[in-house]
Structure 1
């Protein structure tokens, strides 16, 4: 039996782009954990049995949309707080890359994301923490290098 090839959390990166040409991407400082969720929207249709109309129908499902959501949490770093606030305030989605690096390959999604939520938690006597959630705006193109 061969062991699975895995990666570490620091090899998953959320990079935000600027409006330069070409776009320059950087990973805002502060995340201690990240999460990536890929969602497929489905529509359901009852599919009847043509030879036995009284038979209970099975459900057929058709894919109608794809979506990506990204979230992260960690410390509220001075180096990145304005990057997050600018992205949240923007009426437009922002260019972004999501990378997962393995020893033999890197999977990268590139597209636009909206900063959906930005929150900060400030317990007395402890460091301020933050959590951010982002939602895809259109296609996130996947490349494997």
Structure 2
């Protein structure tokens, strides 16, 4: 399988219309998508031989799906709509497109957002998005 470009790992923000239209959050130069699961301890000591060293066992717990990215802050209608969600701490529909894997679609919210800039440079931003609902997954063909 050929290598995939990091720039094709995208988060697209929904516009809330019916049918909903998704557009990429522009300006991202660095991005990551984390899939993690807590582990729940299910270890039970040996009741017949309490002196025996227990074998640790676990099972999957809570899933976490987090997208983060940073880059140039680009003014656009899509960015303005996105910033409304950030400022008002509201949820929105989004798609995370993971090249070579597929698309995760569902409700997200921004847990961390930062704007920064230097005197002679362009304004930059960074954001962390967490899933606010169970995400639907569609595998890439």
What TM-score do you get using the length of structure 2 for normalisation? 0.88
**1:37-83, CA deviations, whole angstroms, 9 ceiling, x for partnerless residues?**
01112221332234432112122212222110000000111125423
- The counterpart of 1:52, out of the listed 39, 49, 52, is 49
Cα distance in 2 for partners of 1:31, 1:132 equals 10
Counterparts of 2:129 and 2:41 in 1: how far apart (Å)? Answer: 27
Using the alignment, how far apart are the partners of 2:105 and 2:75 within structure 1? 26
- Cα RMSD (Å) of the superposition? 1.7
Mark the runs of 5 or more structure 2 residues left unpaired by the alignment: none
Report what 2:111 is aligned to.
Answer: 116
Query: Normalized against structure 1, the TM-score is what?
Result: 0.86
Give the Cα–Cα distance (whole angstroms) in 2 for the partners of residues 12 and 58 of structure 1.
40
Cα deviation, 1:7-53, whole Å, max 9, x if unaligned, reads 00122111010111111100021101110001112221332234432
Return the structure number with greater strand share: 1
Paired residue total? 139
Instruction: Indicate if the aligned counterparts of 2:92 and 2:109 stay in contact, CA closer than 8 A.
Output: yes
Aligned mates of 2:49, 2:3 — CA distance in 1: 50
For 2:91 and 2:53, locate their aligned partners in 1 and report how far apart those are by CA, in whole Å.
Answer: 45
CA contact (8 A) 1:28 1:83 kept: no
Per mean C-alpha deviation after superposition, the further-off stretch among 69-78 and 37-46 is: 37-46
Structure 1 unaligned blocks of 5 or more: none
Distance 1:47 1:40 in 2: 21
Contact 1:84 1:118 in 2 (8 A): no
* Mapped partners of 1:119, 1:142: distance in 2: 29
Q: Which moved more, 1:22-31 or 1:4-13?
A: 4-13
The DSSP-based 3-state class of the residue aligned with 1:87 is helix
